[in-house]
Amino acid sequence: MSQHMPMRAPEFTPLSESAGTGLIDVLLAMSVIIAAALTAFHLTVSTVATGAANERLSAARRVIRKAMTDLERRTFDEVFLAFNDNPMDDPEGPSSAPGAETFYEAVRSAENDELIIRRVDGASQTSNRAGLFRVVVEFPTASDGSLSETRTDFLKGFPSDLNRNGHSADPHLGVADVDLLPMRLRVVWEGSAGPESLELARVFSRR
């Protein structure tokens, strides 16, 4: 008659309380490390985005200064004739002047990494190009393109008696008729959250 030895249940050594606590500490430490890494990554991305936005703003300021310098090189009459939206009255002949809308770009020099601002020909509002800045020049004009003292929407904050005749009611004036020429210069560029702009207002005086 065979004898069967009783089977013993396998023995498991339970984790000690200290061992369980150690594992939890490790997991908590890993969570802290991961959270810190994610925070550092977020800060790095935010810093890079802020740096790029600041660089675009700095470039836009240089663009608007350069555009204003281009206007200031002109005589009083030429400022209006060269930078309005009528290409037929350009001082040097039809379509010879920049007009009411021009484009500039900001690029880094390959030699010394200096930021260079230069005008771009052939660009348009729909040009998808990094570093492109659209410059718009506006005057208080009527629907026919003549200067108008009755453009109250535009002239808010400006002197409105453009020909200095004592009243501000002339709806149609040629540039030869006026002594004051208010204008707005606006630069528009694509920011990280959509279009951004800067505006500069100026009154040119014939004398």
Contact at 8 Å (CB) between 141 and 175? no
**Quick check: is 71 in a domain?**
yes
Strand residue runs (E) in 23-109 = 101-108
Determine the pLDDT at residue 122.
73
- Rounded to the nearest 5 degrees, what angle is found at the Cα of 36, between the Cα atoms of 35 and 42? 90
**Quick check: is 32 in a domain?**
no
Q: Label residue 95 left, alpha or beta by phi (over 0 means left) and psi (-120 to 50 means alpha).
A: left
Q: Which tokens go with 30?
A: 């890993």
Determine the pLDDT at residue 54.
85
Cβ neighbours for 152, distance < 8 A, ≥ 6 positions apart: 160
**Quick check: is 15 in a domain?**
no
**Quick check: is 21 in a domain?**
no
Contact at 8 Å (CB) between 156 and 150? no
Determine the pLDDT at residue 102.
92
Determine the pLDDT at residue 3.
55
Beta bridge partners of 147: 141, 173
Determine the structural domain holding residue 133 and report its residue range: 43-205
**Quick check: is 23 in a domain?**
no
pTM assigned to the model: 0.71
Q: pLDDT in tens for each of the 207 residues of the chain? A: 555 555 555 555 554 555 555 666 655 666 666 666 666 555 444 444 577 788 888 899 999 999 999 999 999 999 999 999 999 999 999 999 999 999 999 888 888 878 888 888 877 666 656 678 999 999 999 999 999 999 999 999 999 999 999 999 999 999 999 999 999 999 999 887 888 999 999 999 998
Determine the pLDDT at residue 137.
97
Whole-angstrom distance, CA of residue 12 vs CA of residue 26:
24
Whole-angstrom distance, CA of residue 138 vs CA of residue 146:
12
Determine the pLDDT at residue 47.
46
For the chain, the domain total comes to: 1
SS3 content of the chain, % helix, strand, coil (to 5): 35, 25, 40
**Quick check: is 13 in a domain?**
no
**Quick check: is 107 in a domain?**
yes
Q: Which tokens go with 145?
A: 């393109």
Contact at 8 Å (CB) between 62 and 106? yes
Contact at 8 Å (CB) between 120 and 63? no
**Quick check: is 139 in a domain?**
yes
HEC letters along 177-198: HCCEEEEEEEEEEEECCEEEEE
Among 110, 88, 203, 204, CA closest to 157: 203
